[in-house]
Amino acid sequence: LTYLIGSDSEDEGFDDHNVVLACSPVRRTLCGRQLQEIPCASMKHLFCSLAQEVSALNDELTVHKIRSSKQETEYVNYKATKDQQLELLDEELKYLKGRLAEQELSHEAKSRRLVEDEQKILVLEELTDKLKAQISELTKVKNPNTRIHMFERAMKENAKVKEDNAMLKESLKRLQQEVGSIPKVAQSQ
């Protein structure tokens, strides 16, 4: 190892700015100055300085590794938490989609029943009109027994029609309330 000094005397020490490390201790000339072998005291000073710098760099590297390890652990934990939350949200979304499909099917079924009941009510109303016409025709029958018999039969049929009609109207009313209470959700999801 050699260094560049400003004078020929080894006792004067060396200037840190003029230190040059070389591959061999032979004398060389660089910019008009002499390269001489490093004195023992200067070598010791140089190695101490380098050792302190290397130690400081090692300490900084250790701190950086600890910080990086801590950040990596935090990232892994954060990612695991977010993955778990995402999985739960995905399950909840699937459940809600299933519920939505069930509600839409139920809504369609109730709508069909509503239409069917409305048609049945129309048919029963037509039957009621026919029975009213039959009852009015009874007044034209002269035989009292026949007229009473026909009247009783017509009244029984009319009562049955009225009962069915009332039941259907009540069912229709409930269906209308149920269908009206189910919101139509857009299928954008």
Let me know if 16 is exposed, middle or buried by CB neighbors in 10 A (0-12, 13-18, 19+).
exposed
Which two three-digit tokens encode residue 115?
């239409």
What is the structure's pLDDT at 122? 81
Q: What is the pLDDT of residue 138?
A: 67
**Tens of pLDDT along 129-164?**
877 777 777 667 666 666 667 667 777 776 777 777
Q: Dump strand ranges (E) for the chain.
A: 2-4, 29-30, 33-37
Q: What is the pTM of this model?
A: 0.36
Question: Mind listing the pLDDT tens digit of every residue in the chain (189 residues)?
Answer: 344 444 444 444 444 434 444 433 433 433 444 445 555 666 677 778 888 888 888 888 888 888 888 888 888 888 888 888 888 888 888 888 888 888 888 888 888 888 887 887 788 778 778 777 777 776 676 666 666 676 677 777 767 777 777 777 777 777 667 666 544 443 333
135: closest CA among 121, 147, 122, 151?
151
Q: Which pLDDT belongs to residue 39?
A: 59
Q: How far apart are CA 143 and CA 140, in angstroms?
A: 9
User: What are the residue boundaries of the structural domains of the chain, listed by start?
Assistant: 39-181
Per-residue confidence (pLDDT) for residue 58, from 0 to 100: 86
Cα–Cα dist 147/145, whole Å: 5
Which residue's entry shows tokens 């400081």? 56
pLDDT of residue 139: 67
Would you state the pLDDT for residue 133? 77
Structure tokens at 24: 């061999």
Residue 151 corresponds to which tokens in the numbers above? 């009247």
